[in-house]
Amino acid sequence: MPHADILHGPSRPELIRNEILADLFEATARRAPQQIALIHGERLLSYGELDALADRAAARLMEAGVRPGQIIGLWLPRGVELLVMQLAIAKTLAQPGTK
């Protein structure tokens, strides 16, 4: 099937959604907390574990004064911690800054 048919055919995916990323992730974590969400090298994290780490990081960000809509600088190497912090920022409704 040509790429154009996939995008414009009757089963075209909904590309713009109203849900917030953090809410979608939390719903997945509630539905399947033991499922593996992340593999990085030898490290495995379930949805429940990743959600808990991001919740703790989001709480610390909010305690430090981060508010919804605020732009947050994030400088970490690719890996688990980067994904945890991206999710934590999403949970605060702030946004990661861009380079």
pLDDT digits (tens, 9 = 90+) for 45-98: 999 999 999 999 999 999 999 998 889 888 999 999 999 999 999 999 876 665
Asked whether residue 30 is domain-assigned, the answer is yes
Asked whether residue 5 is domain-assigned, the answer is no
> What is the structure's pLDDT at 56?
97
Q: Find the domain containing 32 and state its range.
A: 18-96
- The CATH code of the domain that includes 78 is 3.40.50.980
Q: Is the dihedral of CA 60, 65, 70, 74 positive or negative?
A: negative
Asked whether residue 68 is domain-assigned, the answer is yes
Give the position of tokens 């809410």. Answer: 23
H/E run at residue 81: helix 80-92
Asked whether residue 2 is domain-assigned, the answer is no
Asked whether residue 7 is domain-assigned, the answer is no
| φ/ψ of residue 86, rounded to 5 | -60, -45
The number of distinct structural domains making up the chain is 1
Asked whether residue 40 is domain-assigned, the answer is yes
- How many whole angstroms separate alpha carbon 84 and alpha carbon 22? 11
The answer to whether 86 and 74 have CB atoms below 8 angstroms apart is: yes
